[in-house]
Structure 1
Amino acid sequence: MAWCAATVSMASPVCLVDNGPDGCMRVQQEALQVLEQIQQPVVVVAVVGLYRTGKSYLMNRLAGKHTGFALGSTIESKTKGIWMWCVPHPSKPGHTLVLLDTEGLGDVEKGDEKHDTWIFCLAVLLSSSLVYNSMGTIDNTALEKLQYVTELTEHIKVKSSGYDQTTELMRVFPSFVWTVRDFTLELIMNGKAITADQYLESALKLKPGHTTKIMRHNQVRQGLRDFFAERRCFVFERPANTKNMKRMEELTDADLESDFVETAKEFCSHIFSSAKPKTMRGGLGVTGRMLGSLAETYVEAIRSGQVPCLDSAVESLALIQNGRAVAEALEFYQREMERWVHLPTETQEALSQIHAAAEEQAVSIFISGSFNDQEHKHQIELMRSLQEHYKEWCGRNVEESRRVCERVLQRLCARLNRSLRDGALMRPDGGGYGAFSAALEEVKEHYKTEKCRGLMNEEVLRGFLREKEVVGKSILQADRLISAAQKHKEECRRRAEEEARRVQSEEEERRRQEQQLRQEERSFRQNVEQLQEKMETERRRAQQERDRLINAKLQEQKDLLEQGYTERAESLEKEVAALREEAGRKAESAAHSSALSSVLDTLGTAAIAFMPGIGKLAGAALVTLARLT
C-alpha cells in the first residue's frame, strides 16, 4: 500500500514559456502536464545569456545527453522562449532536476529588450541556480550586457511595503554561476595564479567615486553583489576547432579538448552537489507541480502588465496547492480502502490496521503537497474528512457483518423454520421441545464454524436466539413430557445463557468502540508528528537561508571596507545585525517550542471539536501541553 512521489524522466525537452499569437507570453500546457506529475522537490537550473554562446550545450551536459536542447551551428538563435527538461537528479535521491534553457538575450532579429528582461526575470524567479553564459572574458563590455540585473527591483517585488527589497530578494534569489566560454587568458593576477571564482570577484570590484561614469561602471557589479549571495565562475577553453564546432552534437568527449571536458565535468559536479532544491520565502519547499503553478502565476502577472510579487505568488500557490493536497489525500485514502478492505472484517482491529496504513500515506501525501497551510486549516479539514470516512467504513463494516450473519442464520435455520411452520414441534404427545432444542443447538454449532461473519456475529446470534426464545417458550409450555420443575430449570438455563451472550456481546461492542477511539487518537498524533517533521525541515531551510545572507553580507562588507566604501559597509553592518536579530528570535522561538505549541494548540482544539471519546481527551491533553510549552 506504499505511496511515493514520482519523478519524470523526459526523453527530450518541451517548451515551457513562449509567445502566443497575441505576442504575449504564455505557459505551454504540455510542460504543465509534465510538471503536474512531479510531486518531488525540484532543483531548478536555468541558463541565460546572449544568443549563440553555447548555453544549450551546458544544459545537455547536465542532462547527461549529447543532444536534447537545440544547439544550432548558424548565427540564428535556435531556442525561443524557455524550454524545460526534467530528469531524475543524479545525486539527490527523491529529487527531480529541472533544466531551463532560455531564449538568447540580444537576438538582433527580435530586437525586444523588454521581452529579454522578462525572460531573465522568469529565469531568476523559477530557478534555484542561475547560470549566466558569456563568451571571451569578464570585462566591462560583458558586464554591460548583463544590465538586466540592474532592473530586477523594478520588475520583481517582495511586498508592497515594509521590507528591504534588496535583502529579501537576495534571500530567495538563486545562486549565480558565470560560465565564460572560449576563454583564452591565463588566470594570473599580480604575478600569482588565481581561481576562476577570484577572477569573477575581481571583475566585480567597485570603483570609488560618485561620478556618472563611475556609477554606471558600478551599477551591474553592485546588482550582482546585492542580489546573489552565492557566486561561482567556470572558464572554458574553446572545445574544438572551428570545423568541429559546427557539429558539437555529434562529438564525444574524446573529440573535444581535454581541458574543456575537465571544466565541463567540474561545472556539472558543482551544479549537482551545490544547487539547492527550489524554495520560497521562509524555507517553503517547491515540488514540480508547484513550479508549474508558479510559472503560470508569474507569466499571468507579466501578461496583465503587473510586477510579479513573491508574497502574492506564495498566497496564490497556497490557495491552489492546499485544496488539491486535501482532495488527493482523500482520493488516495478511499482508493486504498476500497482496494484492501473486504467487508466484513473479522475484527475491528483488522479494519483499523488497513485504515491506519492508508491514513498514514494520505497524511504524507497532504504534507508533501501542502504549501504554507496557515493555521493548519487544510490539515484540520483533512483530519475531519478522514475521521468521517473512517466512521463511514466502520458503519459499513457493522452493517455488512450483520447482513452476512443474518443470511448465514437464515440458511442454517431453514429446516427448523419449516418444522415450525408445519407445526411439527407442537406435538400433543410431547417431545417437541427436545427436538426444538436439538435443532437450535445444531444451528448454533454450524454457525460457529462459518467464516467471514465479521464483528457482529455474537450480536446477531443473540438477536436470533431472542426471537426463537418466544417460540421455544410456547413449545416448552406445551410439552407434556416435561415436568414443571424441569420447565423451571430449563427457563433458568435459558436466561443464564442469554445473560452470558448479552455480556459477551456488550464486551465485544466495548472493545470495538475502544479500538475505534484508539485509532482516532493514533490518527491525530500521526498528523501532528508528520506536520512537525515538515515544519522542522522548513525551519532548517529558513535558517540556512539566513546564514547564507549573513555570510554573503559579511563578505561584501569586508570587500567594501577594503575598497574604501565605508558608508555602504556601515549600512551592511546594520543589515547583518537585523538578520542576526531575526535569527536570534527564531532560535529562541524554537528553543521554547512556540511553533510546536501553536501546532498542538490548533490541532488539539480541532480534535476536541470533532473527535469523540479518547480522541477528544487526546486533543484536550495536547492543548494543555501547548499551554505549557
Structure 2
Amino acid sequence: MLMIKHTQIFSLAVLLSSMFIYNQMGGIDEAASLVTQMTKQMTKHIRVRASGGRSSASELGQFSPVFVWLLRDFYLDLVEDNRRITPRDYLELALRPVQGSGKDIAAKNEIRDSIRALFPDRECYPLVRPLNNENDLQRMDQISLDKLRPEFRAGLDALTKYVFERTRPKQIGATVMTGPVLVGITESYLEALNNGAVPTISSSWQSVEEAECRRAYDTATEVYMSSFDRSKPPEEVVLRESHEEAVQKSLAAFNASAVGIGSARKKYEGLLQKFLRRAFEDYKRNAFMEADLRCSNTMQNMEKRLRAACHASDANVDNVVKVLDGLLSEYETSCHGPGKWQKLAMFLQQRSVYFSPFWWFTSLHFFLLKKETKLFCSPVWKVQYSTLQNG
C-alpha cells in the first residue's frame, strides 16, 4: 500500500511539472533508486486514454517534463575507457541495455527502457560534497557560499543556469497551462486517485478544456454586452459598426481564456457566434421598435402644430412652410430607425385629407422647392407626392 501511495505521488509530480528534478545521493544505482521503482510502477497507475488498456512508458513520455537526475555527494570519476565523459554521457551509459540473457538481465533492461521512454528529455548533474569537514557539514546553514568547495559551487552554478534556461510553463500539446488550468487538471487527477480509479490524461484534459472553454464563453458574452455602445442612434449602419467592434473584443476575450483545440473549444466558439448574432438581432429589433414608437409620438405632436398653423387667423403659405420646415428639421434630428422617412411620408400624405387639398399641396410644394430633404428621396413619398400633384 505504501508503494502505491509513493507511486501515485511520483506520478502526480511527473504529470504536473515542466521540470522534474530527482535528488539522489551518490551514483546511479538502479537497484536502490526510487526512480527505477516508480517508473516501473507508473504505467500501472496512469493512462493516456480511457480505452486501450495500460499505456506504455513511451506514450506517457509525450506528457513528461524535462528530467534532471541530481546526484549529491557524487564521488565517482567520470571516466569511461580511459577518457573523460560528461555527466550526460554517464547518465546514458547507466541507462543503456545490459548485454546478456536471463530474467535478471531482462528485468534490468525493462527498467532502463522505461526510464528512457518515460523521460526522453533528460539530463544529469553530479554535485560533490560541499565540504570535506564533517563538523562543518553539520552546520551548513551557518556557512557562507564562498566557503564551500569550488567544485561544488561550479556544479551548483551549472545546475542553476540549466534550470533557469530550460524551465518553461507546463504544457499539454500546444496549450500552456495557466493557474486555473493547472488547478483543474490536478483536481481531476486527484479525484480519480481518491476514488480508486486510474487517472486518464486525455479524460482529465477534456474535462479541463470543457470547464475553461465554458468560463471563456461566459467572459466573452459579458465583454460583448458591456462593450456594445447602446448610445448610438438606432440606424442599421451605425448599430452594425458598434456590433462589430464589440464582437472583436468578445472574441479576443474568448481566445485569451479558452484552452485546447478540440471539440470543447469548437463547441463554445459556435455557441458564442450564435449568442453574438442573437444578441445583436434582439437589440436591433427592440431598438427599431422604440424608434418607430418615437416617430409615431413625434408625428402626433407635429399634427397638432400643423393644424394650428393651417387654421390660424393669419395663416399663409410662408407661415405654414416655416412651421413645416421647423417640424421636419426637429423630426430629422430627434427620430431614427429604418422606417423613419417612409413613416413621415405616409403621415404627410394621410394628413392632406384633413386639410384643404390645394392649401396642403401648395405648402408642401413651396417647402420642397426651398429645401432639399431626405423625405423627397423616399420611394414612398415620391409616389404619394406624384399622386397629390396629379390629383
Q: Residues 292 and 441 from structure 1, CA distance in 2 versus in 1: closer, same or farther, beyond 3 angstroms? A: same
What's the counterpart of residue 381 of structure 1? Answer: 271
What's the counterpart of residue 376 of structure 2? Answer: 500
Which one has the largest radius of gyration? 2
Q: CA deviation at 1:293?
A: 1.6
Q: CA deviation at 1:401?
A: 5.0
Asked if residue 123 in structure 1 is aligned to residue 13 in structure 2, the reply is yes
Q: Matched residues in 1 for 2:62 and 2:47: separation?
A: 13
Compute the RMSD of aligned alpha carbons: 3.9
Q: Residues 473 and 372 from structure 1, CA distance in 2 versus in 1: closer, same or farther, beyond 3 angstroms? A: same
Equivalences for residues 388-537 of structure 1 within 5 A:
388-399=278-289, 401=291, 409=298, 417=304, 420=307, 425-427=310-312, 431=315, 434-446=318-330, 450=333, 453=334, 456=337, 459-460=339-340, 463-464=343-344, 466-471=346-351, 474-477=354-357, 490=363, 500-503=376-379
Q: CA deviation at 1:379?
A: 1.9
Instruction: Note if contact 1:329-1:366 (Cα within 8 Å) is conserved in structure 2.
Output: yes
Which among 163, 170, 194 is matched to residue 271 of structure 1? 163
What's the counterpart of residue 246 of structure 1? Answer: 141
Query: TM-score, normalized by length of structure 1?
Result: 0.51
User: 2:275 is matched by which residue type in structure 1?
Assistant: S
Q: Residues 134 and 505 from structure 1, CA distance in 2 versus in 1: closer, same or farther, beyond 3 angstroms? A: farther
Instruction: Note if contact 2:66-2:119 (Cα within 8 Å) is conserved in structure 1.
Output: yes
Q: Matched residues in 1 for 2:22 and 2:75: separation?
A: 18
Q: CA deviation at 1:178?
A: 0.8
Q: Residues 419 and 164 from structure 1, CA distance in 2 versus in 1: closer, same or farther, beyond 3 angstroms? A: closer
Q: CA deviation at 1:161?
A: 1.5
Q: Single out whichever of 141-150 and 196-205 deviates more from structure 2.
A: 141-150
What's the counterpart of residue 223 of structure 2? Answer: 332
Aligned residues: 372
User: 2:208 is matched by which residue type in structure 1?
Assistant: L
Q: Residues 382 and 370 from structure 1, CA distance in 2 versus in 1: closer, same or farther, beyond 3 angstroms? A: farther
Instruction: Note if contact 1:177-1:231 (Cα within 8 Å) is conserved in structure 2.
Output: yes
Equivalences for residues 313-328 of structure 1 within 5 A:
313-328=204-219
Equivalences for residues 253-264 of structure 1 within 5 A:
254=146, 257-264=149-156
Instruction: Note if contact 1:137-1:180 (Cα within 8 Å) is conserved in structure 2.
Output: yes
Q: Matched residues in 1 for 2:335 and 2:180: separation?
A: 43
What's the counterpart of residue 615 of structure 1? Answer: none
What's the counterpart of residue 187 of structure 1? Answer: 78
Q: Secondary structure at the match of 1:173?
A: coil
Q: Secondary structure at the match of 2:23?
A: strand
Q: Residues 405 and 350 from structure 1, CA distance in 2 versus in 1: closer, same or farther, beyond 3 angstroms? A: same
Q: Single out whichever of 257-266 and 216-225 deviates more from structure 2.
A: 257-266
Q: CA deviation at 1:219?
A: 4.4
Q: Secondary structure at the match of 1:138?
A: coil
What's the counterpart of residue 93 of structure 2? Answer: 202
Identity of paired residues, percent? 24
What's the counterpart of residue 369 of structure 1? Answer: 258
Q: Secondary structure at the match of 2:48?
A: coil
Q: Secondary structure at the match of 2:99?
A: coil
What's the counterpart of residue 178 of structure 2? Answer: 287
Asked if residue 356 in structure 1 is aligned to residue 247 in structure 2, the reply is no
Q: Secondary structure at the match of 2:20?
A: strand
Q: Residues 154 and 434 from structure 1, CA distance in 2 versus in 1: closer, same or farther, beyond 3 angstroms? A: same
Q: CA deviation at 1:120?
A: 0.2
Equivalences for residues 129-140 of structure 1 within 5 A:
129-140=19-30
User: 2:69 is matched by which residue type in structure 1?
Assistant: W
Instruction: Note if contact 1:344-1:401 (Cα within 8 Å) is conserved in structure 2.
Output: no
Cα deviation code 1:436-476 (max 9, x no counterpart): 3321212333555x5xx5753x8436534643554455444
Q: CA deviation at 1:278?
A: 3.2
Q: CA deviation at 1:254?
A: 4.9
Q: Matched residues in 2 for 1:152 and 1:195: separation?
A: 29
Q: Matched residues in 2 for 1:232 and 1:265: separation?
A: 15
Q: Matched residues in 1 for 2:198 and 2:352: separation?
A: 86
Instruction: Note if contact 1:344-1:400 (Cα within 8 Å) is conserved in structure 2.
Output: no
Q: Matched residues in 1 for 2:381 and 2:114: separation?
A: 77
Instruction: Note if contact 1:144-1:220 (Cα within 8 Å) is conserved in structure 2.
Output: no
Q: CA deviation at 1:171?
A: 2.3
Structure 1 gaps, min length 5: 1-110, 478-483, 507-629
